[in-house]
């Protein structure tokens, strides 16, 4: 019963994985495998060569590999989907505006999140441009 509930929790957490945060998640999951089951991580990275030092359940290994591939495909995306996402992020940045119902800190946080997502896609924005964007996006009130 415990393993079923653990799988349900894992499935629920998988649904909230944000595609824009995939690289960070991938780094964290790699660290998790490195810390909890290094032999399994070696098999994930190196395939069947070199043999693991301890015995690994083959079915468990296949499930982990399949899971990693599915997650990579779903959230890593291909070149075309990354290009589309980058274009959408640029559009959101260009048309960014603060809402009158938001405070200054909320507007700033939304802008910073957008800039961080752009940086993940290789776009760099100068601090001067960020400052100008923030000032120009403030509501007139």
Provide the mean pLDDT of the chain.
77
Q: Where are the domains of the chain?
A: 2-77, 80-137
Cα 38 to chain centroid distance, Å, stands at 23
More confident residue, 37 or 104: 104
State the average pLDDT over residues 25-35: 80
Give which of 58, 56, 59, 71 is closest to 11, Cα–Cα. Answer: 71
Q: What is the mean pLDDT of residues 65-77?
A: 74
Coil, helix or strand at residue 102: coil
Q: What does the alpha-carbon distance between residue 93 and residue 130 come to, in Å, rounded to a whole number? A: 10
User: Is 30 in contact with 71 (CB distance < 8 Å)?
Assistant: no
Angle among Cα 68, 10, 89 to the nearest 5 degrees reads 65
Q: How confident is the model at residue 117 (pLDDT cuts 50, 70, 90)?
A: confident
Q: According to the model, what pLDDT value does residue 86 have?
A: 86
Predicted confidence at residue 20, as pLDDT, reads 77
CA distances to 45, 103, 108 from 128, rounded to whole Å, are 42, 21, 14
What confidence score (pLDDT) does residue 49 get? 64
Task: Answer whether residue 59 shows pLDDT above 70.
Answer: yes
pLDDT digits over 78-90, tens only? 777 778 888 888 9
pLDDT at 50 over 70: no
pLDDT at 17: 67
Query: For residue 128, what pLDDT band results from cuts at 50, 70 and 90?
Result: very high
Please say if the pLDDT value at position 72 is more than 60. Answer: yes
Q: Which positions ≥6 away from 98 have C-beta within 8 Å? A: 104, 107, 110, 137, 138, 139
């Amino acid at each position: 019963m415990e393993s079923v509930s653990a799988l349900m929790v894992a499935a629920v957490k998988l649904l909230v994985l944000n595609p824009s945060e995939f690289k960070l998640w991938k780094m964290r999951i790699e660290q998790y495998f490195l810390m909890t089951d290094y032999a399994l991580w070696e098999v994930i990275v190196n395939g069947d060569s070199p043999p693991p030092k301890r015995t690994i359940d083959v079915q468990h290994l296949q499930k982990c590999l399949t899971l990693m591939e599915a997650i990579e495909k779903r959230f890593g995306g291909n070149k075309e989907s990354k290009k589309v996402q980058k274009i959408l992020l640029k559009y959101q940045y260009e048309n960014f505006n603060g809402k009158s119902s938001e405070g200054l800190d909320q507007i700033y946080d939304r802008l910073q999140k957008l800039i961080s997502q752009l940086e993940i896609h290789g776009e760099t924005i100068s601090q001067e441009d960020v400052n100008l964007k923030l000032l120009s996006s403030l509501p007139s009130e």
